[in-house]
Structure 1
Amino acid sequence: MTGASSERTGSQERRILLGRISGAFGIRGEAKLESWTEPRDAIFRYQPWILRDAQGNETEVRGVRGKLSGKFTVASFPHITDRDAIEAMRGTEIYVPRSALPPPSEGEYYWVDLEGLRVVTIEGVALGTVSHLFSTGANDVLVARDDERERMIPFVQPQYVTSVDFDAGVVTVDWDPDF
């Protein structure tokens, strides 16, 4: 499974949040990134980027190049060669259109594609909808919410998650509704 959060605005295609600019790197206008792709430098494969600053202003950027440098993911933006310009971008979020991502492999899912699906038990008991997923390190966890409660279900196939049916919009789980 691949983690990333998403959003959809108006009639626009769903966007995937892949990272954030965390500051300047060096003096030539390179940026340090927080990248949530795996591996971290895979973020450069998915373009164009839609950069959203803290005020909600958006800019589309193509041709961003980058590399790993120790513990940092470093990006070079076209036409930016000034450290101060990058520092002004600190906190800017990096989105890509969902269509920029390749199709997942058989039996794998992008978290964003699961969000909003109905969750039902193998007995047909409704548990709500997929709110989000998160990783614990040991395994991923699906969070199903309804009006009354939130359930955290390990995303372990086929033990707990028995099927995902995108056509029907349903994730079926082998889970006690009272748990």
Structure 2
Amino acid sequence: MEQMFTIGKIVNTHGVKGEVRVLPSTDDVKRFGKLKEVKVENRTMTTYEIETVRYHKNFVLLKFKGIDTMNEAELLKNSLLKIDRKDALPLKKDEYYQCDLYGLRVVTDTGRDLGKLTDILMTGSNDVYVVRNEEKEILIPAIKQCILKVDLEAGEMLVHLLEGLED
């Protein structure tokens, strides 16, 4: 399991006082307001204390302690923002971090091995799991009728294929 999660990417600077514009990659954008620090991964991994958080359109504007000019902020452009797993938002029952699902072996309730979960498509209404084996690819909606059990320790997902999913 990954021990760090990527929660956004610095895509530009904002203003002249050292703020950065972040494109968030988390479901709850307000989570930035709960963080005291974040790790910035560029060529190295550096921890920065968050001074201020603002929200503007689809972006999060962050001001890091010690980054006080546009030139200093420019050096952070295209960096990934990461947090430790322990700082991630808590999960509810039957919720999982997406990064933990990749590579799970997917088996039907009839015992047939479908392959491995290789991708997750976010469609708006529900996620769709892409499962591949040597022969084909199957798209399985992430709904309770299809996803019966996820066992991260065993590395397996038990699914029920609704009619028409394999066609």
Shorter-chain TM-score bucket reads: 0.7 to 0.9
Report how far residue 170 of structure 1 moved.
1.4
For 2:59 and 2:98, locate their aligned partners in 1 and report how far apart those are by CA, in whole Å: 25
1:19-168 to 2 correspondence within 5 Å? 19-46=8-35, 48-53=37-42, 56-63=43-50, 65-157=52-144, 159-168=145-154
- TM-score w.r.t. structure 2 length? 0.85
- Paired residue for 1:15? 4
CA distance in 2, matches of 1:112, 1:77: 27
- Identify if the C-alpha distance between structure 1 residues 108 and 97 changes in structure 2 by more than 3 Å, giving closer, same or farther: same
TM-score by structure 1 length? 0.80
Q: What is the distance in 2 between the residues matched to 1:64 and 1:127?
A: 48
Identity %: 27
**How far apart, in 2, do the equivalents of 1:146 and 1:46 lie?**
40
Q: How many residues align?
A: 165
Q: For residues 43-97 of structure 1, what are the alpha-carbon distances to aligned partners after superposition, in whole Å with 9 as ceiling and x for unaligned?
A: 34356422222xx322222335312134431101110010112122211111222
1:147-173: per-residue Cα shift (whole Å, max 9, x none)?
A: 33332211011x111221223321111
State the shift of 1:26 in Å: 1.3
CA RMSD of aligned residues (A): 2.2
